[in-house]
Amino acid sequence: MQSAAKNARPLPDAWSHRTARRAWVGSLTDEPLPEGARRQPAPSWLYVLRVLTLHDYHARYRAQALGVVWSLLNPLVMMGILSVIFTHMFKSSQPNYPIFVLIGLVVWQWFSSALHAATGSFVHNAEIVKRTVFPRQLLPLSMVLSYGINFAMESCLLFIFIPIFPSAFKLSPALVLVPVLLFWLAVLIAGVSLAASVLNVIYRDVAYLVTTGLTLLYWLTPLIYEIERIPYPYRTVWRCNPLCGILTGLRGAVMLGEWPSLLGWAGIVIPTLLVFAVGWLTFRYYERLVLDYV
């Protein structure tokens, strides 16, 4: 009995993650494990990011009869309404306007939906944050990737309209730029989401500021109108919006087969890197306060 009591030491503080197929356990201290116990390797951050992303994606459509169909209907309905308004009432000069506006809407859907979800990610997942040890930045980033899955499915709607608007699409080498531009779009969303997510934990008004800011940004981004309609010098200010440069580049590559100019690339890369750097530094500065306010 004394020998058994001597050997039965308490387990050190540890984290654990369990799935239906496997369990991971990792120690939070350097104390050796009891005899016969085996330390399991910690899951990689890529695995944690994948779990969080898929969990948010599946939870979003749980108990819905149509599920993901709702995310496809929204841009289609908006495209139909805006096309009627701007082709029959306001007479837009943009050829193939339905495709022009659809590209803008699916990009905006990813940006706004991911930012909304990431802003409240720590507040809405407080139990996960309190009970699990993992890199905190993975939670808002998982929201960006989760809505990125929706964006990929919504983008497939463009293929449906190729037979209907054949002149709206141009097969050219410029199409190789589409993944590059989408990468910069993801970096932009990630930068804003990192800052908004951690600030919303400490200052709950941030969620309302994000909603108001997205409303303003909707009209300050050429989603439903051409950038050429903005007169100088205001057009230069519009081009400082990296979302404007990404949209212009995507539409040019898909619809016209055009490559962005050096000035166009500068309007995409420099502001996007600046936004991401500010978002990352803001997150790192306030990250230590998350557990105190969540």
Q: Taking the model in full, what pTM does it have?
A: 0.81
Structure tokens at 294: 């969540």
Is 161 within 8 Å of 83 (Cβ atoms)? no
Angle at 189 between CA 129 and CA 151, to 5 degrees: 100
Least confident of 9-13, 125-129, 134-138, 254-258: 9-13
> pLDDT at residue 269 above 90?
yes
> pLDDT at residue 36 above 60?
no
Structure tokens at 100: 């022009």
Backbone dihedral region for residue 96 (phi beyond 0: left; psi -120 to 50: alpha; all else: beta):
left
Highest mean pLDDT among 21-30, 81-90, 240-249: 240-249
Q: What is the pLDDT of residue 207?
A: 92
> pLDDT at residue 200 above 60?
yes
